[in-house]
Structure 1
């Protein structure tokens, strides 16, 4: 089918805005890699009106999809992990066109996974883990066991992804297969939650206890990036943290993560006077124990 698609991707490659063109072909029995399509064309562009534009094509009994992705959208996916399939696509793809070795350098960077990139991703994964754990525990204490179970499954998934990142790897779609190899104790927790013959309440109770220990042991690496940014200024108000460019990816989990760090004495609360008597603005700063 590559011959059929050649005029389409050659037209894109001729445009100065195009950084690279990649092709992912379906592997036998693994159509999930290409979302059931025979071919995925990835066209990476410097900028566009839409950050993601998708076209579908058909030829006889074959079908293909072309994804035109801006550099900014691609970097967002790689940082936030909001499109996990992109890692697999970039890994499996054949490079059709590469302007100034943009794609080659991108693949090298993903393979080497610089520590700073890992540190940010670990922070975001830790924030999601704390959010799921806290919400799940609240549901458990309210005897909402089925809802709590759902949150615990998600929290274990974030814990697994965090462990993979800690080991210098990108979490893949088959994250539990990775974790089974590198962090078998986390995999065992997941198995106990899913397959144990204990009552759901008992399973959850044991999982919360075990998870608490595992979260505690990863607090330093999980909060490193956030605390590093916080140390740049003496006192922050919440809105300032929320709008700090390097911390905006934490947005939905920010309040819960901040309260967790206060509880663990990593962040101190500072009272800032207001015009109202006895009413204070709540400020935040790096704990004096850390500074």
Structure 2
């Protein structure tokens, strides 16, 4: 296959902006890793104007997808987990071209997966988990059980990814096969939710109780990233300051509900600032210092 694709990647390897090229080959009849294509060529560049763009090719029976991505966008995919396939592309792909060992260094760091890399991913998944849990709980209390089931199921997926990352692994596309060997408790909750014989109302009720305990026990570790960012500023943060903070952009949508959770857990405190609107005070936020 390398020979068939040579003309596609050799031209790109000669471009001065190209940092590396990876080949990801289909391993199964229908492979989500390659979008069903026989192969993906991932081209990493440093100066393309677009964040990423795609070309599709066919050579005889061979179908190939060429994805060219800006290095900054790739870093965002890897740091935030916004493109879960990207990690597997780097870890499983065959390096065809590697300028100054650019891809090799990324691969080594992903394989090591130090806490410095994991802490943002943990906070992102926890923020998503908090939102899905709260929305599911509200819908359950309102009697909308099917909608509540949908949100609790999504909350479990974030819980599962949280467990995988916490144990030092990258979440895979086959998440539940992975979780089964890493966190049997989370897998059991998922299995009971989708295949248990209890009524839908009872299953959701049990999941909400289990989720409440998990949220309490995982809060400190999962929110390390946010706490460290907030600690960089001595004065309280207004919400808009946090929303535009570059290091928080990947979970800014869930930031408000996450802050409310941290206030309940007495990890963050609410600070009132006088405003120009009558008796209204601006709410600001500050990390609670240990006494």
Q: TM-score, normalised by structure 1?
A: 0.96
- Aligned counterpart, 2:192: 192
Distance (Å, rounded) in 1 between the aligned partners of 2:172 and 2:279: 51
Superimposed CA distance per residue, residues 94-142 of structure 1 (whole angstroms, 9 cap, x where no aligned partner) = 1100000001111101100121110111011110100100111111111
Q: Which residue of 2 aligns with 1:157?
A: 157
Question: Counterpart in 1 of 2:64?
Answer: 64
Equivalent residue for 2:253?
252
Give the aligned length: 290
For the residue of structure 2 that corresponds to 1:268, the secondary structure is strand
Q: CA deviation at 1:221?
A: 0.8
Residues in 2 aligned to 1:93 and 1:283: alpha-carbon distance in whole angstroms: 46
Cα distance in 2 for residues equivalent to 1:14 and 1:150: 49
What TM-score do you get using the length of structure 2 for normalisation?
Answer: 0.96
1:262 aligns with 2:263: yes
Which sections of structure 1, spanning at least 5 residues, go unmatched?
none
Question: Residues 207, 28 of structure 1: CA spacing in aligned structure 2 closer, same or farther, 3 A cutoff?
Answer: closer
Whether 2:244 is the aligned partner of 1:243: answer yes
* Cα RMSD (Å): 1.3
- Taking the TM superposition and a 5 Å limit, the aligned residue runs for 1:43-62 are 43-62=43-62
Q: How does 1:74-85 map to 2 (within 5 A)?
A: 74-85=74-85
Deviation at 1:30, TM superposition (A): 5.1
- How far 1:277 moved relative to its partner? 3.6
1:222 aligns with 2:212: no
| Offset at residue 179 of structure 1 (A) | 1.3
Quote how far apart the aligned CAs of 1:4 are: 2.6
Name the CA distance, whole Å, in 2 between partners of 1:240 and 1:266: 19
Task: Give me the whole-angstrom Cα distance separating, in 2, the residues matched to 1:90 and 1:181.
Answer: 23
The separation in 2 between residues aligned to 1:268 and 1:139, in whole angstroms, is 28
User: Hey, what does 1:232 align to over in structure 2?
Assistant: 232
Please state how far the C-alpha of 1:28 moved relative to its aligned partner: 4.2
Runs of 4+ with deviation above 4 angstroms: none
